[in-house]
Amino acid sequence: MSGAGDIAHGERAIAQFLYREARLLDAGRFAEWLGLFAEDGLYWVPSRPDQSDPLGVASIIYEDRGLLAMRVERLAHPNAHVMAPAPRTTHLLGNIEVESGPEEPVQRVAAAFLMVAYRGAQQRVYSGRCTYHLRAGEGGFRILLKRVDLADCDAVHGVMTVPF
């Protein structure tokens, strides 16, 4: 039987994992960020509020780990025009809630986020909620699903280079 201390420790470990993910994105360490995903991991940014189907309705982004790897490779390419000048970001996370019990094999976690992206002379602010499905294993957690529900998901967006 797990005690309150075990639960709090588990929640702290999850929060630290999410903070690490944000630091990797802000540092432009996209290959390391990709390493946080499970081999069967998915990254999804729906185009509609409360969208339940990533395939039957067009999504802003819906990528498995293979497509994410191609995205990361493009971001790292020295001739990537979309990265010149390189964007700078700040990811802020808050209201982290673990929605599943510590004994469950997949931890469901929700968090509010704010990302400020600065590139050239333009600054863009993104906000919304992220939902994670995390699997614990040797070496820590791995992302099975990262769903990013943008507050303005149904707005017209420009090129989104850096992941949320």
Residue 65's pLDDT is 95
> In which residue ranges of the chain is pLDDT below 70?
1-9, 80-84
Residue 103's pLDDT is 84
Residue 121's pLDDT is 83
Alpha carbon of 121 to those of 79, 85, 88, 118: distances in Å? 20, 10, 11, 7
Cβ atoms < 10 Å from Cβ of 47? 17
* Cross-strand partners of 143: 37, 134
- This prediction has a pTM of 0.90
- DSSP-derived secondary structure for 101-126: -TTSSEEEEEEEEEEEEEETTEEEEE
Q: CATH code for 4-150?
A: 3.10.450.50
Could you tell me the residue ranges of all domains in the chain?
4-150
Query: Do the strands 37-45 and 140-150 form a parallel or antiparallel pair, or are they unpaired?
Result: parallel
Alpha carbon of 140 to those of 48, 52, 88, 118: distances in Å? 32, 29, 27, 31
Residue 1's pLDDT is 45
Residue 10's pLDDT is 87
Residue 120's pLDDT is 80
